[in-house]
Structure 1
């Protein structure tokens, strides 16, 4: 729940899951799934959910995945991450790769790290950057899985090469701790992982089962540098991970996640961008906190530069204001506002 304090709390940037297309062809429910996709694209979220529910109950994996997205975002249905997780699980069990990505990510972000690791490993193996980032973080810290700095460096290198700025920042901090010979091995391994990804992706797309056996715990204390807990929101998304461009839970394109409350998440290095500054941009004021988080999720997919900012919910009486920043100068905040306005959203520069 929002506090009545005037200090805004970090909302945490969300991620949208970039995954491969996977369709269940030849099922009678496919037409209903397509009708739901059309309704979603037109903004009729209630209609989309209605079209997907029956096929999902009958076992259509695409419909199950899309319902998971709807419940995660709170579109057409109330936001309910547990229901979203259940739909993802049903679809992932059938081999739906997008659902498998989403299931692993959501498990991790809810703090169910051990359960998430097999899915993160499968996603990372086929080249999914956000899974590579999260798995690299776990391998670096060595808390929930055996520490492996060579593989951690390789995975973080792959995620950085995919354009993830937080991975690049984590990689820079890893350079301070990982010995040069291990970094060199990690760089070589990153190339091997890239070459293997296509084959593994083809195997998983063809229905090869994902190994979901629990990952053995470390079973011993680990001597790693202390990690920096970055501000985040339930379900625990690292605060500086950008959202992937995405428009809706169609059968071949995922959607960014919805944000809720703050929980701590350990990461090897990602510190918030522009950690100080007297200015923010204000994107709207709402009577419901969920409306503010929904707007941020929508804007992330339309204005890529927002990915580098920290969003905030600021309580003012019965109103919740959505802000982002910080910026060192008003000019910088105004420049960002121009980009936001170009996407059709009102925006003003405000003092912290």
Structure 2
């Protein structure tokens, strides 16, 4: 019934899909409950009703449905029950769910609902941005102007650790499913785009930026106020000096057009792991290899490269 409901949904027979899922959900099928939650959240096949969406997400989540748990945590957060949402969001973030990492990154940046932790905030936002979440990309750019370089470098290193843990968690989940553990397959209706998430902002006195775009229409359901980070202490604005004197290097790419190498270097040179390290261009045949130098040892170079990869930037450690 769940699969036939998905087929009906894809034919845009939303009411027919809902009827199929209601029958399966009455028998306790977690996939059907999750899909009903999506239908009520989107208002397709049924009137939009966030209370019912939350109800069905919660039922499926408590049966171990991972996507239902992700949505349940986000719905709870957006309805103002942040403390109740945190355990679900943490579990989702541990698996690498971008929206959960984004929300927790803002919370850690502001010190809202959790202790203020700019290192963890930067790590979570880096991973969310690397997944392609647009809000995370713009928030990470804002954090780059506020969080001191030393803490950003620590955040990049932590992002690599979190990504490895997320990969392990996903492997365990897949293995459990293969062994027949109670981990229901996901049958997801189409057009299940996430609701708008809050954006990060800082006072104009801290960051010079273009005027923000008009705010989107407010949804009918209640949402928490947009979190606003407090201005950092003035003393934290001066980043530490990086002494790039070692012989180890990181290769960022090979380019037949020098302009492409220039464009990449301009985009990444201020990133933690690269800031303060000299650019090195090495002609090789018909291409130019773009490197960053000055790493004191293999561990330093690998740590910086792991952080760049966590932020979606390819690199390769080069021995001296």
TM-score, with normalisation over the residues of structure 1? Answer: 0.53
Match of 1:183 in 2: 152
1:75 is displaced (CA, Å) by 1.0
Match of 1:36 in 2: 5
- Post-superposition CA distance 1:101-132 (Å, at most 9, x none): 11011111112111111111111111111111
Pair 1:256 & 2:193 matched: yes
SS of the residue 1:138 aligns to = helix
Once superposed, what is the RMSD of the aligned Cα atoms? 3.1
SS of the residue 1:267 aligns to = coil
- Post-superposition CA distance 1:132-159 (Å, at most 9, x none): 1111001111121111111110000111
Conserved? CA contact 1:98–1:254, under 8 Å: no
Give the Cα separation in 2 of the matches to 1:113 and 1:182. Answer: 26
Query: Against the structure 1 CA distance between its residues 154 and 310, is the aligned structure 2 distance closer, same or farther, given a 3 Å change threshold?
Result: same
Give the Cα separation in 2 of the matches to 1:155 and 1:98. Answer: 19
Q: Which one of the candidate residues 51, 75, 87 is aligned to 1:82?
A: 51
Q: Which has the larger radius of gyration?
A: 2
Pair 1:192 & 2:125 matched: no
The number of residues matched between the two structures is 208
Give the Cα separation in 2 of the matches to 1:34 and 1:273. Answer: 47
Give the Cα separation in 2 of the matches to 1:254 and 1:117. Answer: 26
Give the Cα separation in 2 of the matches to 1:58 and 1:273. Answer: 53
Give the Cα separation in 2 of the matches to 1:96 and 1:161. Answer: 25
Give the Cα separation in 1 of the matches to 2:201 and 2:189. Answer: 32
Residues 45-64 of structure 1: pairs in structure 2 closer than 5 A: 45-64=14-33
1:81 is displaced (CA, Å) by 0.3
Give the Cα separation in 1 of the matches to 2:13 and 2:191. Answer: 17
Query: Against the structure 1 CA distance between its residues 128 and 273, is the aligned structure 2 distance closer, same or farther, given a 3 Å change threshold?
Result: farther
Conserved? CA contact 1:35–1:51, under 8 Å: yes
1:177 is displaced (CA, Å) by 2.7
- Post-superposition CA distance 1:173-225 (Å, at most 9, x none): 2223322221111010111111111111233453899xxxxxxxxxxxxxxxx
Pair 1:267 & 2:200 matched: yes
Give the Cα separation in 1 of the matches to 2:203 and 2:19. Answer: 40
Structure 1: state its 5+ residue gaps. Answer: 1-31, 210-248, 277-308, 314-352
Residues 1-352 of structure 1: pairs in structure 2 closer than 5 A: 32-204=1-173, 206=176, 250-251=187-188, 255-257=192-194, 267-268=200-201, 275=212, 311=216
Give the Cα separation in 2 of the matches to 1:51 and 1:189. Answer: 44
Greater relative contact order (CA < 8 Å, ≥ 6 in sequence): 1
Conserved? CA contact 1:72–1:258, under 8 Å: no
Conserved? CA contact 1:68–1:87, under 8 Å: yes
Query: Against the structure 1 CA distance between its residues 105 and 153, is the aligned structure 2 distance closer, same or farther, given a 3 Å change threshold?
Result: same
Aligned structure 1 segments of 4 or more residues deviating by more than 6 angstroms: 270-274
Conserved? CA contact 1:156–1:167, under 8 Å: yes
- Post-superposition CA distance 1:205-256 (Å, at most 9, x none): 53899xxxxxxxxxxxxxxxxxxxxxxxxxxxxxxxxxxxxxxx94486712
Conserved? CA contact 2:95–2:169, under 8 Å: yes
Query: Against the structure 1 CA distance between its residues 75 and 92, is the aligned structure 2 distance closer, same or farther, given a 3 Å change threshold?
Result: same
Conserved? CA contact 1:74–1:258, under 8 Å: no
